[in-house]
Amino acid sequence: MKRYFLTLALFLSALFANAQIIDNQLYEEMSRRSDDEQIEVIAVLKARYDRDILNRKADAFATRAERRDFVVKELKSFAEASQKDLTEYINSSKDMRLGTSLWMSNSIAFSATKEAILVISGRDDIKIMGLDKKQHLVPEVISSGDARNHVNTREITPNITQVNVDRVWELGYTGAGIVVAVVDSGVNYEHADLADHLWDGGEEFPHHGYDIVNGDDDPMDDKGHGTHVAGIVCGDGTSGTQTGAAPEATLMCVKSTAADGFGGSVNIAGGMEWAVEHGCDMISMSLGMAGAADTDKLVLRRTCVAVNDAGIVAAVCAGNEGNSFLLMAYPIPDNVRVPASCPPPYLDPDQLANPGELSCVVAVGAVNGNDEAASFTSQGPVTWQGIDEFGDYAYEPGIGLIRPDVCAPGVAIKSLDYENVNGYTNMDGTSQATPLVGGIIALMLQKNPNLMPADICRILEETSVKLTPNKSNITGVGRVDALAAVNAVEPYDAIVENEKEMVSIYPNPAKDFITFPETSQISLMNIHGQLMDIRVLNNNQIDVSGLQSGIYLMKIQNKFVKIVVER
């Protein structure tokens, strides 16, 4: 009886004092549980690494790979230090069991009784606590025909030719040397179309990746979704059909769902963290949470911001709930899955009417073979105004955050069958559109491995086939065009030479003013793609005295020049 009254008192106290700490979904779960049961929870800590400082330091590195490694090291050290006290407290209690530490979002997953949860919620280092709820992360996909009885004809699938990937191959770009992390339900790495270009994890990761859900080194696919997705990224046609946009890219396999396709934000964030920490160049992720709680949203947005800071871009599916909002299941602005609802690394001019912070996510919608929006493709806009740490992209009043960014073929897509190491099958979904965009990004990175996420997103948007006059909440800017995108990428060596030739841009580095060529149209953005508010003077100068130290990109006509501002 004493324990009952103690628990009730603590519960009421938390309701009064910590109403903003325990989110509604967790409160509801606590009301259904007995006092002795342990509940799976996520605690997000208040502490965050100062991003201005992190990026100023990271901008000093010459390559994107060096930047990635630096950001990983800094964020891991910061999270370890800030989580130390809470971790020790959890380990010391019989009412709690420690789970996963997430260093990109600075959060901890653990299980605890109701009483222990209430005690934790009273700590001054906790920002929010939520239920680590598992849901179906794989968007519902439809098998759109049997492709298992194939003929060894060396055919190229129609989605590949629709976006001109085959013409990029003719230029010599096949994704060679680029490590693509497919974060999904796992991959059948024994499929003949993947087996000869898998990531070498050495003795520690002999199966070419990691299983986040089970915590082991074997990311074998037991659902089929991840293998189909991986085939669209880099299936090389060994068994007869060329399904992959980047057939010579290196595939890193990351399993973030259970066999039934279920998982939570901890699984998604953990998969992205693992991939970045182990050296991926980009992420293709056809996963997401529908109707995510505030804690899940915060964990995933913090993660996607950190991935962007590390210089890594992620192609992420918008989801297949496009018809659901008509039934009020997932109404706008909650129709796009998280983390596809996170901001892009580059803000399109149409979005500048309602700007906000950025992240690594290139959100992808689906069209059919005629460039018509697929009926199932999830629709924006979304908003983050309810998440107080960000509070951006207001929806009412305001245009919200336009989602998706681009679209790609996602109807009747032939790719790899996980049950047959030489087989193929057809599926529909934004899950199938996303890895095609991921493969195109790999082609772009082969041409210039130092492309930052903002560059990649901007080029994809500027070169897409326009399907609407303005950026749309159904198809984004338009359907991607691989040939136009790769042609718009300047090789790294060419960029360096262009900067040397443009001697009329001076001084560089600069402190107060930069002089630019006469009669040039210019704009200035930071390394993350945000347009900077600059004052253009009459004598062909721009005033940069109000900018922080760092690297910026000046757009002069249609060329980009790297500018360094020093204080």
Residue 101 CA to residue 541 CA, distance in Å, equals 49
Per-residue pLDDT, averaged over 223-242, amounts to 97
CA 421 – CA 431 distance, rounded (Å): 21
Alpha helices by DSSP H, listed for 37-127, are 51-58, 64-91, 114-121
Burial class (CB in 10 A: 0-12, 13-18, 19+), 485: buried
* Residue 402 structure tokens: 């336009």
In terms of DSSP bridges, do strands 155-156 and 241-242 run parallel, antiparallel, or are they unpaired? parallel
Mean residue pLDDT of the chain comes to 90
Q: Which of 54-68, 400-414, 461-475 has the lowest mean pLDDT?
A: 54-68
pLDDT band at 144 (very low <50, low <70, confident <90, very high): low
Whole-number pLDDT of residue 142: 58
Helices 294-309 and 24-32 cross at an angle (nearest 10°) of: 130
Give the pLDDT score at 149. 45
Q: Where are the beta strands (DSSP E) in 244-344?
A: 250-255, 262-263, 282-285, 313-317
Assign 546 a pLDDT band (cuts: 50, 70, 90).
confident
DSSP one-letter string for 122-174:
TSTTEEEEEE---EE-SPP-B--S---S-----EE-HHHHHTTHHHHHTTT-S
> Could you tell me the pLDDT band of residue 2, with boundaries at 50, 70 and 90?
very low
- The span from the CA of 187 to the CA of 253, in Å, is 6
User: CATH code for 155-489?
Assistant: 3.40.50.200
Question: Mean pLDDT across the stretch 306-316?
Answer: 98
Q: Is 480 exposed, middle or buried (0-12, 13-18, 19+ CB in 10 A)?
A: buried
Which pLDDT score is estimated for 323?
Answer: 86
Q: List pLDDT tens digits, range 254-272.
A: 999 999 999 999 999 999 9
What is residue 105's predicted lDDT score, i.e. its pLDDT? 98
Q: Is the pLDDT of residue 289 over 80?
A: yes
Between 123 and 148, whose confidence is greater?
123
Class of the CATH domain delimited by 493-565: mainly beta
How confident is residue 11, by pLDDT bands cut at 50, 70 and 90?
A: low
Q: Using pLDDT thresholds of 50, 70 and 90, give the confidence band for residue 154.
A: confident
Please determine, for residue 151, whether its predicted confidence score (pLDDT) is greater than 50.
no
Segment 369-377 mean pLDDT: 97
Other CB atoms within 10 A of residue 523 CB: 14
- pLDDT of residue 5 exceeding 60, the answer is no
Average pLDDT over residues 437-464: 97
Which residue(s) pair with 183 in the sheet? 254, 285
Q: Is the pLDDT of residue 7 over 90?
A: no
SS3 of residue 551 by DSSP: strand
- Give the mean model confidence (pLDDT) for residues 13-32: 79
Q: Do 280 and 179 meet the contact criterion of CB atoms below 8 Å apart?
A: yes
Q: Where in the chain is the domain with CATH 3.40.50.200?
A: 155-489
**pLDDT for res 503:** 44
pLDDT attached to residue 312: 98
Q: Is the pLDDT of residue 562 over 90?
A: no
Domain boundaries for CATH 3.30.70.80 within the chain: 2-132
pLDDT for the residue 114:
96
pLDDT given at position 541? 84
Q: What is the pLDDT of residues 88-133, one digit of tens each?
A: 999 999 999 999 999 999 999 999 999 999 999 999 999 999 999 9
Sign of the torsion formed by the C-alpha atoms of 443, 447, 449 and 451: negative
Structure tokens at 553: 């990109």
Higher pLDDT, 325 or 233: 233
Contacts for 209-212: CB closer than 8 Å, 24+ residues apart: 209/181, 209/252, 209/253, 209/254, 209/255, 210/253, 210/254, 210/255, 210/274, 210/278, 211/186, 211/255, 212/254, 212/255, 212/256, 212/267, 212/270, 212/271, 212/274
Q: What type of residue sits at position 185? A: S
Q: Write the burial class of residue 415 (CB in 10 Å: 0-12 exposed, 13-18 middle, 19+ buried).
A: buried
pLDDT of residue 279 exceeding 90: yes
**Whole-number Å distance between alpha carbons of 155 and 528:** 39
pLDDT band at 535 (very low <50, low <70, confident <90, very high): confident
Residue 235 has pLDDT above 90, yes or no: yes
The 3-state secondary structure of 472-524 reads ECCCECEECCHHHHHHHCCCHHHHHHHHHHCCCCECCCECCEEECCCCCCEEE
Give the β-pairing of 96-102 and 126-131.
unpaired
11-20, 444-453, 487-496, 530-539: least confident range: 11-20
Residue 308 CA to residue 48 CA, distance in Å, equals 15
Q: What is the average per-residue pLDDT within 63-76?
A: 96
Q: Which is it for strands 313-317 and 361-367: parallel, antiparallel or unpaired?
A: parallel
pLDDT per residue over 484-513, tens digit each? 999 999 987 655 555 444 446 778 788 888
Residue 544: predicted pLDDT: 86
Least confident of 60-64, 145-149, 178-182, 471-475: 145-149
For domain 2-132, give the fold. Alpha-Beta Plaits (3.30.70)
Contacts of 523 (CB under 8 A, 6+ apart): 531, 534, 554, 555
Delimit the CATH 2.60.40 region(s) of the chain.
493-565
